[in-house]
Amino acid sequence: MSRALSRSSESWGPYPLILAGAVVAVAVTLLVDPRWGGFALGGVVMIGAALRFSGFGGQLAVRSRRTDSVTLGVFGFVLVLTALLLENNALKGLLMSLFAR
């Protein structure tokens, strides 16, 4: 019986840590500041990408390692970038000038 219990607890991997970090980040978004919460959530997602890339899959392993890592990494980067752009008009202007003709 203990053998089955240890196998099921091993399959979770870093999932509870990532889930707890996401809950804290959402709480920070709602209670403190959306910029800091978005930044924290993006950081947690990128940590999940790094853990998945290094082989610690657990419940994070849905597709292939490369697909999971790239998807989580890009999503985390976009969250962090969006959090930085929320109230920074100078950075918004710089990015808009890059895409303007």
Q: What is the dihedral of CA 1, 61, 27, 38, to 10 degrees?
A: 170
Cβ atoms of 43 and 76 within 8 Å: the answer is yes
Query: Model confidence over 23-78: pLDDT tens digits?
Result: 999 999 999 988 899 999 999 999 988 988 888 767 766 778 888 889 989 999 99
Cβ atoms of 13 and 62 within 8 Å: the answer is no
In this prediction, residue 6 has a pLDDT band, given cuts at 50, 70 and 90, of very low
Q: Domain residues of the chain, as ranges?
A: 2-99
Cβ atoms of 35 and 83 within 8 Å: the answer is yes
The pTM for the full model equals 0.74
